[in-house]
C-alpha cells in the first residue's frame, strides 16, 4: 500500500477532514483537521507508516480555525 493511500485510510477511519499529496521534492504533505485526540492518533500512525515505508521526520504546523473550516472529507489530492 502506498503512503498516500495509507494516510487516506487512517484519516478516514478517524473521521478527519483534509487531504494528502506528494510534493515536488518527493515528500508527502498532509493537512488534517479534527479533535486533538484523533490528530494525535493520526500522528502516531504517520510515524509508523505502512509496511515497508520509511518515515524520516514529521513537521507540524497548526491551521487557523478559518482554514480548518474550509476542509472537506479526507482525500488524496493530485492522485493520478
Residue at 7 is within a domain = yes
For the question of residue 4 being annotated catalytic, the response is yes
- Mean pLDDT, the chain cut into blocks of 10 residues (80 residues total): 91 95 90 95 94 87 85 82
Q: Examine the residue annotation and report whether 75 is marked as an active-site residue of this protein.
A: no
Spatial distance between the Cα atoms of 51 and 63, rounded to a whole number of angstroms: 29
Q: What is residue 35's predicted lDDT score, i.e. its pLDDT?
A: 94
- pLDDT in the model for residue 79: 57
Using DSSP's 3-state secondary structure scheme, residue 9 falls into helix
The domain containing residue 36 runs over which residues? Answer: 3-72
In a domain, 78, yes or no: no
What CATH code is carried by the domain that includes residue 55? Answer: 3.30.70.100
Residue 17 is predicted with a pLDDT of 94
Q: What is the pLDDT of residue 19?
A: 92
H or E element in which residue 38 lies: helix 36-48
Whether 80 is covered by a domain: the verdict is no
29 within some domain: yes
Q: Which of 4, 17, 21, 51 is catalytic?
A: 4
Handedness of CA 42, 7, 18, 57 (dihedral sign): positive
Domain assignment of residue 55, yes or no: yes
3-13 and 36-48 helices, crossing angle to 10°: 150
**Catalytic hit among 9, 17, 21, 22:** 22
Q: Could you give the number of structural domains in the chain?
A: 1
Amino acid at each position: 500500500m502506498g503512503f498516500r493511500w495509507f494516510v487516506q485510510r487512517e484519516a478516514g477511519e478517524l473521521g478527519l477532514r483534509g487531504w494528502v499529496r506528494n510534493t515536488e521534492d518527493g515528500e508527502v504533505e498532509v493537512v488534517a483537521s479534527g479533535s486533538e485526540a484523533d490528530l494525535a492518533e493520526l500522528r502516531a500512525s504517520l510515524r509508523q507508516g505502512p509496511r515497508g515505508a520509511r518515515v524520516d521526520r514529521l513537521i507540524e504546523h497548526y491551521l487557523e480555525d478559518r482554514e480548518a473550516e474550509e476542509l472537506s472529507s479526507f482525500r488524496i489530492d493530485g492522485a493520478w
